[in-house]
Amino acid sequence: MIQSSSLDNQLIVIKTSKNKYLAVIDLNKEFVTNEGKFSFKNISSLPFKITSSTGIEFKLYKPTYKEFVLLMKRGPQIIYPKDSAQILIEANVHSGSNVLEIGTGSGALTLLLFTIISSLGTLTTLDVSKNNQRRALKTISRYLTTIKNENNTNLTFLNCDLENFNFDEFNNLVDTIITDVPEPWLFFENNKIINTTNWVSYLPSISQISRIKETLIKNEFEDIEVKEVIMRDWIIEDKILRPSNKLVSHTGFIISGKFIKF
């Protein structure tokens, strides 16, 4: 249980029967919504229940990764948790992996990679936008306040255009490459992979998938697979057992393959 003296600046979820909000505790302020308001200084611990000015019960607790990335403020479109999970499986990411992420974006996948790789591995994330990388670093720092973290993952931000990226210094260091950029095939215009490496690209259109597949084949990748993750919730309430009308279908395609040095 977190004591009140250390609550200031804590990241929390505020949940009602209808909504969830992501907030940062400021003991000098109030949390205000159309469902009512309350003062942060009245929170004595976490998790915590408090009644708003309109009589609605608010539940306060630390966010999960899923809640955090879906509720956080962001710039570029994030990779949704359902896709992030599959990407990690296809890329064989684990504690000790040495990953090059191409396309930092809002940092949702960067955060997940950071928490999994640990101090045994390394994470290098490349993006042409310094603003994206500042946002991603802030995202990681903010989320780490919610967990018991002894993570000393070696994290490096590279601010570079993919067309001008030189992979030579990473060829003996990286075992996994994950891309979330519109034209991942540009990587191969000036670079060649020479050691065993897992490759995963996340792309919105099948034409992009076709293009990167041709490129991977040309560069002697094996076990190339294309997937689309479709998720459907089910409603189980009393005697009601049925699929939800809300279907999270196409968010992106995942293509994976591996280069094997024999």
Q: What is the pLDDT of residues 2-35, one digit of tens each?
A: 445 578 888 999 999 999 999 999 999 999 999 9
* For residue 190, pLDDT beyond 60: yes
Of 92, 56, 105, 112, give the one whose Cα is nearest residue 256. 92
pLDDT-based confidence at residue 59 (cuts at 50, 70, 90): very high
Query: Are 159 and 119 found together in one domain?
Result: yes
Residues 50 and 82 in one domain: no
204 and 75 in a common domain: yes
Neighbours of 26 (CB within 10 A): 14
Task: Kindly tell me the burial class for residue 166, based on how many C-beta atoms sit within 10 Å of its own C-beta (0-12, 13-18, 19 or more).
Answer: exposed
Helix (H/G/I), strand (E/B), else coil: 247: strand
Round to whole Å and give the CA distance between 206 and 169: 32
Higher pLDDT, 75 or 155: 155
201 and 73 in one domain? yes
Q: What is the CATH number of the domain that holds 227?
A: 3.40.50.150
Same domain? 222 vs 151: yes
User: Does 118 score more than 90 pLDDT?
Assistant: no
| Tokens 């591995």, located at residue | 121
Query: Tell me: the pLDDT tens digits for 121-136?
Result: 999 999 999 999 998 8
Mean pLDDT of 181-208: 97
If one counts the domains in the chain, the total is 2
Domain housing 228: 67-259
pLDDT of residue 5: 54
Is 219 found in the same domain as 157? yes
When the pLDDT of each residue in the chain is averaged and rounded to a whole number, the result is: 92
Same domain, 109 and 169: yes
Nearest to 99 by CA among 119, 113, 120: 113
Can you give the pLDDT at residue 148? 67
Identify the domain boundary among 22, 40, 62: 62
Query: Could you tell me if 11 and 98 lie in one domain?
Result: no
| Cα–Cα distance, 176 to 191 (Å, whole number) | 15
Per-residue model confidence (pLDDT) at position 1: 44
Mean of pLDDT values over 59-64 = 96
**Average pLDDT in the 39-58 region?**
94
Q: How confident is the model at residue 151 (pLDDT cuts 50, 70, 90)?
A: low
Extract the tokens encoding 253.
Answer: 């395609």
Domain boundary (46, 62, 78) is at 62
Residue 253 makes CB contacts below 8 A (sequence gap 6+) with 202, 203, 204, 205, 206, 208, 209, 226, 227, 228
- What whole-number distance in Å separates Cα of residue 73 and Cα of residue 255? 28
Measured distance CA(194)–CA(161) in Å, rounded = 22
Contact indicator for 216, 197 with CB cutoff of 8 Å: no
Tokens of 245: 């009308």
In contact, 156 and 174? CB cutoff 8 Å: no
Q: Are residues 231 and 102 part of one domain?
A: yes
* pTM of the predicted model as reported, rounded to 2 decimal places: 0.89
Which has more pLDDT, 236 or 145?
236
CATH number of domain containing 36? 3.10.330.20
Does residue 49 contact residue 7 with C-beta atoms inside 8 Å?
no
Assess whether 42 and 94 both reside in one domain: no
Do 106 and 153 belong together in one domain? yes
Please tell me whether residues 175 and 254 are part of one structural domain.
Answer: yes
3-state helix vs strand vs coil in the chain, percent to 5: 30, 35, 35
185 contacts 212 by C-beta, under 8 angstroms: yes
Q: Which two tokens stand for residue 54?
A: 């309109």
**DSSP letter (8 states) at residue 195:** S
Give the end of a domain, one of 36, 62, 88.
62
| pLDDT for the residue numbered 3 | 47
